[in-house]
């Protein structure tokens, strides 16, 4: 599992705020605490990542939002251009590759799962 351990929770919060500024539709009570899968159209690894999440969802209820980095301004898009797919939780950035087991470990380590339906 490739956590970006160099990013503190405060930095994740700031990163999520930048993403919300670029994609205001994420600024809802339903989306703000969800996991976000960052990717883009035509990215085959992003398709694989969605399949991994779908497999995980068969055993664990998880809500996530797909976010297309093509909607970002260039500096923000370039932050992710060479690392997508990327999962951003409220506290962690998880770079691909990841497996169902990695998602389970991440899910179990989440400080709060209150936002899940």
Q: Is the distance from CB of 108 to CB of 7 less than 8 angstroms? A: no
Q: Is the distance from CB of 107 to CB of 62 less than 8 angstroms? A: yes
| C-alpha angle 65-70-74 in degrees, rounded to nearest 5 | 125
pLDDT in tens, 55-79: 999 999 999 999 999 999 999 999 9
Q: Is the distance from CB of 40 to CB of 69 less than 8 angstroms? A: yes
pLDDT in tens, 15-40: 999 999 999 999 998 888 899 999 99
Q: Which pTM was predicted?
A: 0.86
């Amino acid at each position: 599992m490739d956590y970006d351990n160099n990013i503190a929770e405060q930095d994740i919060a700031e990163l999520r705020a930048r993403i919300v500024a670029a994609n205001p539709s994420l600024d809802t009570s339903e989306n703000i605490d969800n996991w976000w899968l960052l990717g883009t159209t035509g990215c085959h690894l992003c398709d694989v990542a969605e399949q991994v999440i779908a497999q995980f969802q068969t055993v664990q209820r998880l809500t996530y939002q797909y976010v297309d980095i093509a909607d970002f301004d260039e500096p923000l898009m370039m932050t992710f251009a060479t690392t997508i797919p990327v999962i951003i939780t409220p506290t962690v950035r998880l770079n691909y590759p990841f497996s169902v087991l990695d998602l389970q470990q991440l899910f179990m380590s989440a400080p709060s799962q209150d936002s899940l339906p």
